[in-house]
Amino acid sequence: MKIIETPLKDLLIIDPQVFKDERGYFYESYNQEKFFKAGIRDVFVQDNQSLSQKNVVRGLHFQHPPYAQAKLVRVIKGSVYDVVVDLRKDSPTYGQSFGIELTEENFLMLYVPVGFAHGFATLQDNTIFAYKCSAFYNKASEDTILWNDPTLNIDWKVQNPILSEKDKQGKLFQHFQSPF
């Protein structure tokens, strides 16, 4: 497993060791001991999975403390353009975004610490996206930054995105008061 730093402090790309042969492949998508040795000390308590068609945008989501979540995200089938925004007001990268393509072929995972908003755009039909969370879902603490916020200027890599009503109503970043 390789740990790759990103331009955003504490946000990490995980490149697992994949063993391939004529039968297919095998890899550890999570090993607590290895992750702890790499400095990722979150204890994950909930696994989530979604199925989305091409051009679906989900995000930018996060939960307020004390229900804030670190996430370990990956694609099981298909591909996404995964995006995070640093919401930690004391961070040198506050308000900056990072995007990466996660696919069933590249096996990459992204470790998203507490204090980031997260979202993704599906690049293929029938994409299966999976993620571990360090805190349980709490509806009262969920929040959304507007996916196409002009201040953030994120290129989601899709045309004519399909959005939920919740994601259409996200907050503008310039009016956002960070709880982190």
| Residue positions annotated with a catalytic role | 61, 131
Distances (CA, A) of 33 to 21, 41, 43, 102, 178: 26, 9, 11, 24, 32
Buried b (16+ CB within 10 A) or exposed e, 137-173: eeeebebbbbbebeebebebbbeebebeeebeebeeb
Instruction: Supply the Cα-derived Rg of the chain in whole angstroms.
Output: 16
In residues, how long is the chain?
180
Which residues neighbour 140 within 8 Å (Cβ) at sequence distance 6 or greater?
none
